[in-house]
Chain A
């Protein structure tokens, strides 16, 4: 029989529609059949429309085309709203002419070639526009056109305004999408910091610098609010003095350390004052309140933007949870079509090869490990145990080292004459010692982790992850130790009573908030300098060495690799410092912004000229998620000390906006106490314990509801998946029947005869089935007359119905019916004795075949 082969992409619309109808009928029929099986009803006695006109064998193709088309339509509908200017497609006009046009456009936007239709279609477009503009709905049409124009304009603007768009594209051509995701992340953090900086600048720094009064006028004193003392503030404020030296060397030193003249700038907490700004438009502007609220808004803003960013990629990945299609993704999504550099393409080939070969080896290795002798297992686990123990020791040791160094430095600086007794360089070194220790540890310890992890014999993917997690722990742990050390110094109990400044064993910090800010300031500066240093001092020389020197050893060194995870962790670290520091040094976000900005160009340089793409294929979406989660963890850890400072620590009496309050949050109470009494009552209700308990109960109820809903949906997904597989098998079975009876073999199996025997376990129809069909075809056993075939099918249909109930209890009304049906399907596909079917009507087929036939298709 001559098979009418049509490309699935519809170059030729008319035959397509007629097929569509037919398939639709079949689908209805099929659904009915399935439903009846599920609900345990009798099988409908409708005729099977497909079997009735078995003319060709493109069923499977048509079917797939149809679903593809459906999906496309659906997607276009969805997208039409958001970013496509295809308003014409959305038109609700019943005119045939336009319908035609619409389908054309739809087709052209979608699959196939629109070129041959172009002129014709253009004429129709023109016609339509004339018609519409002359018709009654001319007004809405212009509106629509304007709207369309606006949309296009918006789109163009958004491209134009996309910062560094072309830069990113260059990187993409050079290094592939993985590295670009790093740059996108960097850009995102840059903008986050910019917003934080602007918020701080607008609501704290500018109002204070522009409108500050001299002298203290406390407008917001509040009535009956405890924890305010103006008196101690007035005695302590003059005591907070900063030695400003005019020596040029000291100036620079002070700039790097945030001491001296820097301490007097708006960078640090101590600069700000507790006064209300009277000259502000319409009354007064409470700086303490602004400071506190801006900080809270910044934290909240960071959280929300992060959550949005995470959710976007999370949603994509959520479906991807089962690792079932890792090979498909590697093979079909492997090539990066954006690559445009010869060298990069070669590297990409190599990395793909390594990835595939590695994964296959891994799979074999995995199977081998299952059969590993208990002796080997024991050895492996011992090694792992020791290495993990070692890692914990290293982490603990690093923590202790930081603790010890910070402690020593503080005691060194506590000596009032340390500046005169020591060289300026030594002083600078000592001041930077904690930061230097942390940075050095961050540089060296991950290298050790990278070496020891090889002995642990993990899978490659897990190796990357566990090394990253250890590195993250190191970074967070070192910061935590630093914070703990600072906390110990700040909360030292031996303090004088008037100004709450440490004495004797405790350090005398007149303004401890500024001290904390200085620490983070130093860390950020050092971190930035190290990054610049690594890029210019390590990658660049390596590049020069590789290109200029011809010796074999130089070639062997080669270019550095663009290490994405390490780079991402670096910027996450900078961000952590920013979040930790911004409360104590309000302009630290500016530093972070500058740091990110410069880093973008530096990394661009190194990505474009100095480094090779990473050898390990980097899954941008998955790892992005991982990094975002790390960023989130870091964020919550940052919130702890900042929140604790706000609520539980007594601010310095001599400096800062909160100097008159015993706790920082008291300023909120003071503001509320100035509100009218009814508002106070309402706020009182909302902040009372009983209200919060009710709120908590309500929230947990909502969580319970949504979680049970998602649980139900997960079950539904499993069920639908089963159904999908069933449908596939089902269809395959039916197709095979058709092929056999018509004596034609499916197109996809043309090459099957050449195919080497498969080695994996298979649960489809045995390969012999195809051969049999071929043999039958060659022997000419099957008649090619359609009528005769149909007759045969009928006969086949009718005979075996009696056998059915033995195998499948159809009357069963509940779920078990479905299960039985399923098992019947499964059985049907495997053991069918295909040889028997086509030649003879009175075949003695196995009962299971009959069952399956009967369950789904009433022949």
Chain B
């Protein structure tokens, strides 16, 4: 509640065109230009970012949140791919995020990001071994994480992986390249609704 008040304050100051805010006007414009968010939403994202830090008062844009701190975000916490998400969106590659990384992530997951972008990031998240192709091992990991504590039997797993590859592998290289993945996902009406995080 406290933060909320402080937050409104910031917005009103910003709207009046003066005063010190977290972001300069220019920054806000840029962020708005580069993400799929409005100014208000950017502030909101900042608020969420701040709330994750152990010491919210000391948070600035440059603050880096570690992996464990990011795991406190409810959607990330329950997500079976949380380590991948944190890795993919961390610009420094060490699983920590600055505010801009965080904004980037929320922008990709927001309602208004186009399908192509969501697909691209989904591909990166699912590509566990980062070889730019979803091979059998990737699929195995993916399915294992999807089913959680219950594991599919070995024969079931083999059957499933085989089925997925048979459905999607156009060039018979025994894995999904990005183009193949994209091709499949553009035809999946559920994907765009499921691949998002509420603000």
A: residues with CB less than 8 A from B are 5, 7-9, 60-61, 63-65, 67-68, 71-72, 75-76, 79, 83-86, 88, 105, 108-111, 113-116, 118, 121-122, 125-126, 152, 155-156, 159, 169, 172-173, 177, 313, 316-317, 319-320, 324-329, 331-342, 344-346, 349-350, 352-353, 356-357, 360, 363-364, 619-622, 724-725, 728-729, 731-732, 735, 746-752, 755-756, 758-760, 762-765, 829
9 contacts between A and B (CB under 8 A): A115-B91, A324-B167, A326-B167, A356-B160, A360-B156, A729-B171, A732-B173, A755-B174, A764-B172
- Give Cα A680–Cα B16 distance, bound, in whole angstroms: 62
**Residues of A contacting B77 in the complex (Cβ-Cβ under 8 angstroms):** 340, 342
Residue in B101, B120, B163, B174 whose beta carbon sits within 8 Å of that of A764 in the complex? B174
In the complex formed, the residue of B with least CB distance to A71 is B116
**Residues of A contacting B198 in the complex (Cβ-Cβ under 8 angstroms):** 169, 172-173, 338, 340
Cβ A72 vs Cβ B117 within 8 A: yes
- Give Cα A63–Cα B126 distance, bound, in whole angstroms: 20
**Residues of A contacting B179 in the complex (Cβ-Cβ under 8 angstroms):** 63-64, 67-68
State whether the Cβ of B177 lies closer than 8 Å to any Cβ in chain A.
yes
State whether the Cβ of B158 lies closer than 8 Å to any Cβ in chain A.
yes
Cβ A337 vs Cβ B194 within 8 A: yes
Smallest beta-carbon distance A10→chain B, Å? 10
Cβ B150 vs Cβ A353 within 8 A: yes
Cβ B98 vs Cβ A115 within 8 A: yes
Identify which of residues 106-159 in chain B touch chain A, using a CB-to-CB cut-off of 8 Å.
109, 112, 114-117, 120, 122, 124, 126, 131-133, 135-137, 139, 142-143, 146-150, 152, 156, 158-159
In the complex formed, the residue of A with least CB distance to B138 is A751
State whether the Cβ of B185 lies closer than 8 Å to any Cβ in chain A.
yes
Smallest beta-carbon distance B152→chain A, Å? 6
Smallest beta-carbon distance B193→chain A, Å? 5
Q: Convert B181-199 into 0s and 1s, putting 1 for each residue whose CB lies closer than 8 angstroms to a CB of A.
A: 1101101111101111111
**Residues of A contacting B147 in the complex (Cβ-Cβ under 8 angstroms):** 349, 352-353, 356
In the complex formed, the residue of A with least CB distance to B162 is A760
Cβ A332 vs Cβ B172 within 8 A: no
- Give Cα A759–Cα B117 distance, bound, in whole angstroms: 35
Residue in B40, B170, B195, B197 whose beta carbon sits within 8 Å of that of A333 in the complex? B195
- B-side interface size class: 35 or more
Count A/B pairs, Cβ under 8 Å.
261
Cβ B148 vs Cβ A346 within 8 A: yes
Smallest beta-carbon distance A317→chain B, Å? 6
Residue in A122, A325, A622, A762 whose beta carbon sits within 8 Å of that of B168 in the complex? A325
**Residues of A contacting B112 in the complex (Cβ-Cβ under 8 angstroms):** 83-84
- Give Cα A620–Cα B192 distance, bound, in whole angstroms: 12
The answer to whether residues A113 and B190 also contact, given A64-B178, A85-B33, A349-B149 and a CB cut-off of 8 A, is no
**Residues of B contacting A756 in the complex (Cβ-Cβ under 8 angstroms):** 158
The answer to whether residues A335 and B79 also contact, given A115-B104, A353-B152 and a CB cut-off of 8 A, is yes
- Give Cα A724–Cα B169 distance, bound, in whole angstroms: 12
**Residues of B contacting A109 in the complex (Cβ-Cβ under 8 angstroms):** 34-35, 117
Residue in B27, B124, B169, B191 whose beta carbon sits within 8 Å of that of A332 in the complex? B191
State whether the Cβ of B100 lies closer than 8 Å to any Cβ in chain A.
yes
Given contacts A732-B173, A748-B173, A748-B177, 13 further A-B pairs with CB under 8 A are: A109-B35, A122-B26, A177-B193, A327-B160, A329-B188, A337-B194, A357-B152, A621-B193, A724-B170, A729-B171, A748-B135, A749-B174, A755-B174
**Residues of B contacting A749 in the complex (Cβ-Cβ under 8 angstroms):** 173-174
Cβ B38 vs Cβ A155 within 8 A: yes
- Give Cα A750–Cα B132 distance, bound, in whole angstroms: 12
State whether the Cβ of B68 lies closer than 8 Å to any Cβ in chain A.
no
**Residues of A contacting B148 in the complex (Cβ-Cβ under 8 angstroms):** 345-346, 349-350, 352-353
- Give Cα A207–Cα B143 distance, bound, in whole angstroms: 64
- Give Cα A729–Cα B171 distance, bound, in whole angstroms: 5
Going nearest first, the 9 A-B pairs with the smallest beta carbon separation are A764-B172, A349-B148, A345-B78, A728-B170, A340-B74, A728-B171, A64-B179, A353-B147, A748-B133
- Give Cα A353–Cα B147 distance, bound, in whole angstroms: 5
- Give Cα A317–Cα B188 distance, bound, in whole angstroms: 9
The answer to whether residues A173 and B74 also contact, given A126-B26, A332-B181 and a CB cut-off of 8 A, is yes
State whether the Cβ of B51 lies closer than 8 Å to any Cβ in chain A.
no
